[in-house]
Structure formats: C-alpha cells, structure tokens
Structure 1
Amino acid sequence: MQQFAFEKLTAWKLSRRFVSRIYKVTSMFPEDEKYGLVSQLRRASISISSNLAEGSSRLSPVDQVRFYQYAYSSLMEVINQLILSADMSFISIEILNELRKDGSEISNVINGLVKSNRSKK
C-alpha cells in the first residue's frame, strides 16, 4: 500500500500517539465537560496531526512552514487546555507532566521541520 509523505514524518507519528492519549485522558473528564474542554482538547490535538499532514502536501517550503506553524499553535492550545484541566482537578499533575513531556517532544520535532524548510527558501 502506498505511504503518503506525512506518514513518514516523526512529528506526525508522535502527534498521532498524542491524540490517542488525549482521547483516553478526556474520557475520564466530568460529563458536563463533554462539549467544553473535552471537545476543545480533542479537536486541537487532531488539528496538530492534520496540519502536519496538510503541510507535507504543500509544494513550497513557505507553505509547508505555515502549516507546521499551525500544528505548533494547536499543540500550544492543547498544552494550555491541559494546564487548565489540572487547575480544575480534571487531571492529576502527574498526567499533566506526562502529556507536557509528550508535547515538548512534538514541539521539538515540529521546530526541526520548520527550520529545515526555512533553509530551503
């Protein structure tokens, strides 16, 4: 079966795993957060991998960088929402720290993609 370019990206692979973790963690949130933080966290985490996939399909490095930056911004949105979730005791500090560690790893790889593509101009 054909493998698309984005499927080869380390950042995409990490973000895919991150989505699964976000879904697992948010399944334990209070029911009244279903349309609040749960929805926001899930959509933002999916947006990371989606923007990486879309960016990899762009022909110009400038366009690729733009989508990789969108992915990074979505990652920062997720981290912020996780911090708020910990503030409201929806997740423990330990879970927050684990997810922040995952986010930091994804962040570093996305930043590498941005730097690599900026040098192609």
Structure 2
Amino acid sequence: MAHFAVGFLTLCLLVPVLTWSFTAPLLILPVLFSALIFRLRTVADTQRVTVRTLLATRSVDWDAIDGLGFTRGSWARAHLRDGGSLQLPAVTFATLPLLTEASGGRVPNPYR
C-alpha cells in the first residue's frame, strides 16, 4: 500500500517537472521513498533480530539485547548489553505483540 502513495507522489511531481524543467531532480524523491519502503525492516525469530537499513544489515542475538525502549512517535530502540543501541525499523508499541511471538517470549507482551 505504501508504494501506491509513492506512485501518487510521482504523479503529483510530474506537474512541476513537466512545467519547469529545473525541477526534474525532484523525481529522485519517489525512487528514494520506494527504496526505503522496500529496505527498512526488522526481522525477528527465536534466535536473533535482524535490522535492515537503507545501506546495511545487522543481526544481533537476543542474548545481546538488554531491553527495548520507546519514544513518542518513533520506532523501538533495542538497548544492547555492550552499552550501544539499535533502532528497530517498523517496530512500534502497537506491533510489540508480534515481536513477543517472534522472540519466543523474550519480549513481554504489554497487552496481557
């Protein structure tokens, strides 16, 4: 569904691009947004959490995660035992039950 929004944005950007040729670089934005939609994700299973950003992929075992933190209006952040942190794309407080199920119970479900 998010790609439909990118397509609509592309159609809207065609008006200024076809009117004023110097605005043609604006068509890079829909390509970038589509790449972000395709790449940004968090994949969790019973062994590890894999985070995909636009340019990199990082896997962390559940044992290396000390806890999760949430700030208003953003994705979850995993606090690592070594003192670092790792942003978990697309993991919000609303999707926490799915992460609870995928983690094999390592993450408590706050809705129970």
Which structure is higher in RCO with an 8 Å CA cutoff and minimum separation 6?
Answer: 1
Instruction: Please report the TM-score for the alignment, with normalisation by the length of structure 2.
Output: 0.31
Larger helix fraction of residues: 1
Give the greater-gyration-radius structure (CA).
2
Instruction: Please report the TM-score for the alignment, with normalisation by the length of structure 1.
Output: 0.29
